[in-house]
Structure 1
């Protein structure tokens, strides 16, 4: 009798290999990039808003000490303010409205190298006390934030500039349009918001053509506006209140330093 052999079972063909999924890997890489970018931005913000303030404050302490040492030398050795060179510290700015202890050393020049240390004096404008417009620039946020609260000033507020031998008391102007008692006869407002290209605000007579003869003795402070933006400029105009005050006669400063 013939025995039937069982048929060999043919194994099924292997299932086709599946390609590895790509999307989870791509999403992971994108996520890592975004997290890294966010950390970089956060570190940059911390550096700009915190670290640069600390560095500028430390530099201001150094400048204040150096300037006082220079001023304590015999008069013949002190460099006159009009001979100040780019980067020289030559004055101290006091704004009592921003604190009775508010004082910032002012450097000659408004390049970033100077503004990273404190307020800077526009080189082509008058020196403190001279006829014309003495103009200072300062950062609103970061680099010491010297003009952070400049918008807190009110008409009539004193702004005092101290040099080696004199005190100059300026007072913020009012606005004739609003009937302020401290308005300037020329119609120069105490506060303006302008575009960065509106450079007439630092003309010898603020807002007049640059070539026009000065009509008074002014001080102008400029900073970015609004905070955290350089889209516009906040401008404060002040005029000299009386003559220069000799430090020999008043070494501790004028009474205006105590006004708030």
Structure 2
């Protein structure tokens, strides 16, 4: 009996160690992967934006920017910058184009086919809540009036939160041009952030809605 109990205790300790290592990987291992990807994506975005600005200056063809990309990026490529002042000055993520598994491991992903920054319609962005950097972990803290900033090459688009809700994963209409009203014609620029809910579960989706409140020249960074 003692031998059996000792064996069971050893198995329990081993299982606990394996589980602990697995949890550590989910938090730090996947987070480190996203951190490296974010660095590369940010550099890619800045290079592309700088090249576009130089090209416009050389061609002497100033034009008003309508979206964050001078040419539509493909899935997995850098798209725009996302900042949420409520989460601190260090909160900044490069949004990628696409919401596939590989895309969201790099950072928040822009739903293909939804509006671009500042455009009439609904710009929808998905992101992880518990793994791969957990960019949307604190989205349940966002409240009406909080700012969400989307940076493009020359412009910062300022959205303010209007509401927050929890829906089933099947509710894809939250990413419609008029959120929750599939088929309706949009008349204003909106932003929707989606993530899993509750934490450590994919049973529901936490959705944050926002509307464009203004725009300003993007501050040049050195």
Alignment of 1:239 with 2:211, yes or no, is: yes
What corresponds to 1:196 in structure 2? 169
Point out where structure 1 has 5 or more consecutive residues left out of the alignment. 1-22, 174-189, 253-260
When the two structures are aligned, how many residues end up with a matched partner? Answer: 209
What corresponds to 1:120 in structure 2? 109
Return the offset for 1:82.
5.8
Return the offset for 1:31.
4.5
What corresponds to 1:172 in structure 2? 161
Q: Please give the alpha-carbon distance, in whole angstroms, between the structure 1 residues aligned to 2:69 and 2:42.
A: 17
What corresponds to 1:61 in structure 2? 39
Larger-Rg structure: 1
TM-score (norm 2): 0.85
**Greater fraction of residues in strand:** 2
- Map 1:16-165; keep pairs closer than 5 Å: 29-75=7-53, 76=55, 80=69, 83-165=72-154
Equivalent residue of 1:47, what SS? helix
What corresponds to 1:187 in structure 2? none
What corresponds to 1:226 in structure 2? 198
TM-score (norm 1): 0.73
Point out where structure 2 has 5 or more consecutive residues left out of the alignment. 57-67
Supply the RMSD in Å over aligned alpha carbons.
2.2
C-alpha contact (below 8 Å) 1:158/1:172 kept by paired residues: yes
